[in-house]
Amino acid sequence: MSTATIAPSPSVTVDNSCSDRPSAPYTNFNQITHEQFQQAADHMKLEREIQLLLRTPYRELIVQIPVRMDNGRLELFYGYRVQHNAVRGPYKGGIRYHHEVDLNEVRSLAALMTWKTALVDVPFGGAKGGITCDPTNMSRNELQSLTRGFTQKIDMGLGIYRDIPAPDVGTNAQVMAWIMDEYGKKHGYTPAIVTGKPVNLGGSLGRDQATGRGVMIVTREACKAFGVDIKNARIAIQGFGNVGSWAARLISNLGAKIVAVSDVKGGIFAEKGLDIDKVLTHVASTGSVVDAPGTQPVSNEELLMLDVDVLIPAALGGSITDKNVDDVKAKLIIEAANSPVTPSADARFLSRGVRVVPDILANAGGVTVSYFEWVQNLQQFRWDLDKVNHELEQRMISAWNAVHFRHTNENISLRLAAYTEAMMKVAEASRQRF
Ligand code: GLU
């Protein structure tokens, strides 16, 4: 049974440490994205006006969602939709259901979406949504009421050329189906209002595996570029949800050894490499990777410190911090999750020569195939899986090439290269509009 989830009104602090900074609300989590933005803005000598426009979100909605729970009690939830920037196209980004969701986190993730869509060159801006709730503790009925209530409350901000939600942590194709259905009650049949839908309702083939496939593509390309033989590479993946499990499956198909994976309940290790299909079967029957046959237990913390060639954090943000960064042995980090490495840990990695493929590149496969889904919905025409995967491969590789080129050419981190590449596109579109 769900406990009461009554969020206080979001705390707002005003940071005026930069004289050119508008009186916008910034709190800690958002500071991560903000620091990354600022480093790139300084590196590319971005003019003040464009910095002002890109630094803050365009619009933020905070809504109250009352839900009659199965036990008859009324619970109050809070939901957020932050629209960061739309100069390159409609707002786009997922909706997260998690007990730690707050305005600050959603704001940060919305900005990441703006850079991500620009980097892979899909004609979208950036947005993010979320509801502070624990979906693992809610029934199907409760989740459905919550989702429909949220959709009604943010309806005025949505539209197929305005803002298009998608799944994120704690949401899935079913939640997207409810959003489409609720939106359709008012506006008529509108499949393009949301991506990541069930294939039966207009979802794209390959969307469920798209983020994991994108992670596989950049892992393969990064290994090639930095002299790691993927066929003999030892890889650990933290997180075995949609992204982590697809990445594990697709990367092991390349011949790499996935020696460890984990989920919220714990992790598993096998020196000779895990049989990912067997792990998936175990998860399907028990709900967790823990105790999969033929494996040794490993904690989430220990997994990060394993002696591996590649580490893929695919869980939540902030898993590699000042506290554990120096224990990480991998020389290549692929950020499948959003913001898994804090800025100070990132600086440590840079000084130690550890390469970090940033989230806005590593996990951009999801929104790329969301774009394909939206295009298919607008055209009422379905692509086959080969076409989806082929187009995804091309966009991921050209984004990788652009970032890698800038990284080498300007001798900057992959993150700074990716941000610079993305922000240049958004900045140029802003100049053309203003
Ligand atoms: N939630 C995913 C992300 O963070 C996908 C967003 C989308 O497809 O719009 O990239």
> Is residue 168 within 6 Å of ligand 1 at its C-beta?
yes
Ligand 1: which of 83, 168, 373 to mutate, judged by most atoms within 8 Å of the beta carbon? 168
Q: One digit per residue, pLDDT tens: the chain, 434 residues?
A: 333 333 433 333 333 333 343 334 444 667 778 889 999 999 999 999 999 999 999 999 999 999 999 999 999 999 999 999 999 999 999 999 999 999 999 999 999 999 999 999 999 999 999 999 999 999 999 999 999 999 999 999 999 999 999 999 999 999 999 999 999 999 999 999 999 999 999 999 999 999 999 999 999 999 999 999 999 999 999 999 999 999 999 999 999 999 999 999 999 999 999 999 999 999 999 999 999 999 999 999 999 999 999 999 999 889 999 999 999 999 999 999 999 999 999 999 999 999 999 999 999 999 999 999 999 999 999 999 999 999 999 999 999 999 999 999 999 999 999 999 999 999 999 999 98
Quick check: helix, strand or coil at residue 170?
Answer: coil
CA of 275 to the centre of ligand 1 (A): 28
Burial of 90 (0-12, 13-18, 19+ CB in 10 A): buried
The minimum-distance atom of ligand 1 relative to the CA of 370 is 8
Are 67 and 77 in contact, with CB atoms under 8 Å apart? Answer: yes
Q: What is the DSSP letter of 338?
A: S
The minimum-distance atom of ligand 1 relative to the CA of 96 is 1
Which protein residue has the closest C-alpha to ligand 1 atom 9? Answer: 93
Strands 296-298 and 266-269, by their bridges, are antiparallel
pLDDT value for 18? 35
> Is residue 370 within 6 Å of ligand 1 at its C-beta?
yes
pLDDT value for 31? 77
Q: For 290, how many CA atoms within 13 A lie in the half-sphere containing its CB?
A: 9
Q: What is the DSSP letter of 81?
A: E
Sign of the Cα torsion 98, 11, 313, 218 reads positive
Please tell me whether the overall predicted TM-score, pTM, comes out greater than 0.95 for this model.
no
Show the domains of the chain with their CATH numbers: 14-21+58-199 (3.40.50.10860), 210-362 (3.40.50.720)
pLDDT value for 28? 60
If phi > 0 it is left, if psi is from -120 to 50 it is alpha, else beta; for residue 287 that is left
Catalytic residues, by residue number, are 128
Tell me the helix, strand and coil percentages in the chain, rounded to 5: 50, 20, 35
